[in-house]
Chain A
């Protein structure tokens, strides 16, 4: 049982507050990813949990115990660094057993644990090598091995895959997931790559400017973002934001776009949600690229059709990203290669309004 609690944790560097009083509870055996743009405070938060960074205010609890003033060595955590941080003068085996030796564990037990971890990570052949004789992916495995053998209460990962090339990164991501099935330990994983967060985590914490924007499962963050920031940050290519107005028309609500002037009927199930916005013309319509499709025949219920001219097409094999301008904003849509999009040519598209989000730019919140 190793829960991690952050209570109103603040970190200041001089006058600059980089983490601004965050509250977070990570359940036992849960895998939580901290994501956000660089400088959002995610790495600092992780380092505070590790004890590598002092906390300016607030408390951190591991396993119900306040560890705020504990040295890293007394927190029973293991950490995987972006740079791997393998000890260059030690072999792989020595690297992996270093932490256990500090605990004065019996040699037989150390060997058992190292061999077991090496087996899980498939690095048995590398145990006698020095780090400089390893490839990036192998170093990454050793770094994880060094964490596993400790059998700590909490695993901390600080952008562990950022130094790998794209192909290896995808491979190691799967490795981490596989490892997770074998070793279930409370994990905090920092990344700026939202795909990593979405694929690995049980829950994701999106951070921005030192604050938590939203905490949720990958599904919740993707489909029910609460702020404009989260809506734009999660998903790739990111969500389109289109200036729009909402108007009451009889007992129906209409969504109005300018340039060209378009008017779509808002699906009935969203009426209650958006009723209060009728008459506002400063809103943003949020639509993900995959919620556009090539229009065929009469509009389906909840879909709005419009004619546009395609500027750019980016075929990536299974799908094509097409770019066009709507309401003065560049829009990205994901279409099947068969949709017939051609650069410079007109195309009739449909927007799936049952998936729409409306953002109030004043509060930055998704309505």
Chain B
């Protein structure tokens, strides 16, 4: 009886392990592939068939090399694109958090005329496809001289990250007892100070989750970066990745190295803030 149970448990454990391994292979396989490609030496192009990469990809390159990484920063302004991505993603993260926390606090703690309509409008704003916003954004950019500026890109990115993070923060703030606000008000705080000293520190997991989502959304966003920018001064990583892929000849080694370097910050952030991110998304983890 006992032995049978133990056996059943062991068999189940094996199945779970096999399943997990399959999922892991499926999601990490491409990454491994890219890594191998990035250390495979680039071959000279065949100029008779310039549009084809004549490179042989092997699972274990005979002469692994880091040359592709070097070329990435020497032959293309990769560092500039990396910097642009960082500035715009960070800027959007900050702007989104400011807008979302101020807005969410208002929605959660105040009853005002049109409150529900505003909330619905927010939801609708979030569901509008980015493509629809392109033309109006271009017009606004031209009017206010925001074409090809980091600020313009940050504002554009915030149009879809801010509503999303706002909803997330509304969810989060609603779990905090109103008594805390009132205690702080009696203790001498203005509403803004209550937000700053009490609500935000208690919402740290939610802020981290919202901030990271905003960062990642922007980091990965190709559409705005591609269509709203025309100079290398503001173009971001997804744009150069496309250029690599469509280049003639396609430079697979450099392209793979670029892909890996672009993935790195996001992966690092995930690793660092994993726990906070999970608890922040499962709002309501804070209890007095």
Contact = CB atoms under 8 A, between A and B. Distances in A.
* A-B complex is real: yes
A71 B49 CA distance: 77
A2 interface: no
A87 interface: yes
B288 A71 contact: no
A146 B179 CA distance: 14
A99 B185 contact: no
B199 to A, nearest CB: 10
Interface string A142-158: 00001000100000100
Interface string B188-204: 11100100011001100
A81 B179 contact: yes
13 contacts: A50-B186, A52-B182, A52-B185, A73-B189, A78-B186, A79-B186, A81-B179, A86-B288, A89-B201, A98-B197, A102-B187, A103-B188, A156-B186
Interface of A: 50-52, 71-73, 77-79, 81-89, 98-99, 102-103, 131-132, 146, 150, 156
Given A78-B187, A86-B183, 12 more contacts: A71-B185, A73-B185, A79-B182, A79-B183, A81-B182, A83-B179, A84-B288, A87-B183, A88-B287, A98-B187, A99-B188, A102-B187
Contacts of B180: 85, 87
Contacts of B197: 98
B190 A71 contact: yes
The 9 closest A-B pairs by CB, nearest first: A102-B188, A99-B187, A85-B179, A85-B183, A73-B188, A72-B185, A79-B186, A72-B186, A83-B179
Question: Interface residues of B: mostly helix, strand, loop or mixed?
Answer: helix
A73 B187 CA distance: 6
A51 B197 CA distance: 20
Interface string B274-288: 000000000000111
Interface in B160-194: 177, 179-180, 182-190, 193
A102 B177 CA distance: 21
Nearest to B191: A71
Interface in B244-288: 286-288
Given A87-B198, A102-B188, A72 B286 contact: no
B181 to A, nearest CB: 9
Given A98-B187, A131-B288, A85 B202 contact: no
Contacts of B188: 73, 99, 102-103
A199 to B, nearest CB: 25
Interface residues of B, number: 20
Contacts of A89: 201-202
A99 B187 CA distance: 4
B159 to A, nearest CB: 33
Contacts of A85: 177, 179-180, 182-183, 288
A73 B186 contact: yes
A146 to B, nearest CB: 7
Given A73-B190, A81-B179, A83-B177, A88 B286 contact: yes
A87 B184 contact: yes
Query: Which among A78, A81, A85, A103 has the greatest number of chain B C-beta atoms within 10 A?
Result: A85
A73 B177 CA distance: 19
A72 B182 CA distance: 9
B135 to A, nearest CB: 44
A164 to B, nearest CB: 16
Contacts of B186: 50-52, 72-73, 77-79, 99, 156
A146 B193 CA distance: 18
A19 to B, nearest CB: 18
Contacts of B183: 79, 81, 85-87, 146
Contacts of A156: 186
A86 B184 CA distance: 9
Nearest to B288: A88
B243 to A, nearest CB: 47
A74 to B, nearest CB: 9
B184 to A, nearest CB: 7
A16 to B, nearest CB: 15
Contacts of A72: 182, 185-186
A128 B202 CA distance: 18
A100 to B, nearest CB: 9
Given A83-B288, A99-B187, A88 B202 contact: yes
A50 B286 CA distance: 27
Interface centre among A71, A73, A82, A156 (most CB of B within 10 A): A73
A81 B187 CA distance: 12
Nearest to B198: A87
A347 B176 CA distance: 58
Contacts of A88: 202, 286-288
Contacts of A83: 177, 179, 288
Nearest to B286: A88
A66 B185 CA distance: 19
Counting chain B CB atoms within 10 Å of each CB, the highest count among A83, A84, A131 belongs to A83
Nearest to B193: A102
A215 B184 CA distance: 32
A146 B286 contact: no
Which of B183, B185, B286 is the most central at the interface, judged by chain A CB atoms within 10 Å of its CB? B183
A89 B287 CA distance: 10
A261 to B, nearest CB: 57
Contacts of A131: 288
